[in-house]
Structure 1
């Protein structure tokens, strides 16, 4: 019997994409679906990948796709679903609309996670919970929050045992944690000169 994977990569793709007007995961950025940038990076640093989405349009991906257990709860609901379905203790979670995240950042978080339930980066004073390492042990606490309709990510981090990793001095590009939510933001970065993730 093969041992279970040590780390699972999770792509959050369950948002409504109302501001984009179409599925953000499928939107082309320099000719490539945004979700492809995220899965490429996760493939380099994790053992297996899953996608969390409430849409049927990602069924053709070469990864298992799971819906939210608690619908309409935002990213926290997606993370809960991932931690419910995962087979590993350690899980790297990245939103599908963050195509500039690098494998270097993820390795830094994995190195820092130790026994924390959550490990997230802080860049220029901003906490980035949608690019983080989440322990499967956090699922029970998150489920209780969702049952109480407490859906805010930052509130969850305060309750969970969270390690904050300041990456501001690591020479990371300012747009590394950028979320692309609108056609205007997509147009801004849809050019060959953009420095994409995966480059250490």
Structure 2
């Protein structure tokens, strides 16, 4: 994909390749307004960081000018994807996003990255109500040894377990966004009904 500009010390890790059991099809190739989610998320987050796509299986990709790497471990969930993404390249700061977020916001991503630079923590994660969003969050490369230790020595591969093992800072408000707008930016699609809802939101905005 052309036109993806990046800050040299930052990367964008796009996670895809989950089983998508609830959706029934690979969410990365679902279409929103004629655009596949893979391209849509990369486009919306253009400029956030040097992009890399991480998957856990052999996938036939469309022609995108973005590096693609595979998980080093199977059946370890998104934590293995984050490990693969952080291991690729030398960038210190990584913004992680799941491929099923049709309204992924570059403004929110930049805000979270700015918080990371100020707080000097291991991760910055948005939280709305009691729900954390670790798959639309910022992580520092220094957590790699911790991630690898969890993947190789423990049985709990959940993102919430990772956040308990590192210094994570939670953000509940984003400057310039209402709670409704932030909720939409963090919306992810798990079921066919979510896909229909995303299309309905787009239609209502026209």
TM-score by length of 1: 0.88
Instruction: Using the TM superposition, give the Cα deviation of residue 56 of structure 1 relative to its aligned residue in structure 2, in angstroms.
Output: 1.7
- The structure 2 residue matched to 1:116, chosen from 117, 121, 131, is 121
Find the counterpart in structure 1 of residue 44 from structure 2.
41
RMSD value, Cα: 2.0
Mapped partners of 1:71, 1:195: distance in 2: 40
Find the counterpart in structure 2 of residue 55 from structure 1.
58
Find the counterpart in structure 1 of residue 195 from structure 2.
186
Find the counterpart in structure 2 of residue 171 from structure 1.
178
Q: Does 1:155 align with 2:164?
A: no
- The structure 2 residue matched to 1:28, chosen from 26, 31, 43, is 31
5+ long unaligned stretches in structure 2: 1-6
Instruction: Using the TM superposition, give the Cα deviation of residue 143 of structure 1 relative to its aligned residue in structure 2, in angstroms.
Output: 0.7
Mapped partners of 1:161, 1:14: distance in 2: 28
Instruction: Using the TM superposition, give the Cα deviation of residue 183 of structure 1 relative to its aligned residue in structure 2, in angstroms.
Output: 1.7
Q: Secondary structure at the match of 2:46?
A: helix
Q: Does 1:64 align with 2:74?
A: no
Find the counterpart in structure 1 of residue 146 from structure 2.
141
Mapped partners of 1:100, 1:77: distance in 2: 24
**How many residue pairs are counted as aligned between the two chains?**
192
Instruction: Using the TM superposition, give the Cα deviation of residue 110 of structure 1 relative to its aligned residue in structure 2, in angstroms.
Output: 0.7
Mapped partners of 1:145, 1:66: distance in 2: 20
Q: Does 1:98 align with 2:104?
A: no
Q: Could you list the runs of 4 or more consecutive aligned residues of structure 1 that deviate by over 6 angstroms after TM superposition?
A: none
Instruction: Using the TM superposition, give the Cα deviation of residue 195 of structure 1 relative to its aligned residue in structure 2, in angstroms.
Output: 5.5
Instruction: Using the TM superposition, give the Cα deviation of residue 125 of structure 1 relative to its aligned residue in structure 2, in angstroms.
Output: 2.9
1:19-56: per-residue Cα shift (whole Å, max 9, x none)?
Answer: 2222110110121111222101221322x100001232
Mapped partners of 2:104, 2:189: distance in 1: 12
TM-score by length of 2: 0.86
Instruction: Using the TM superposition, give the Cα deviation of residue 59 of structure 1 relative to its aligned residue in structure 2, in angstroms.
Output: 6.2
Find the counterpart in structure 2 of residue 89 from structure 1.
92
Contact 2:17 2:26 in 1 (8 A): no
Higher helix share: 2
Mapped partners of 1:194, 1:180: distance in 2: 18
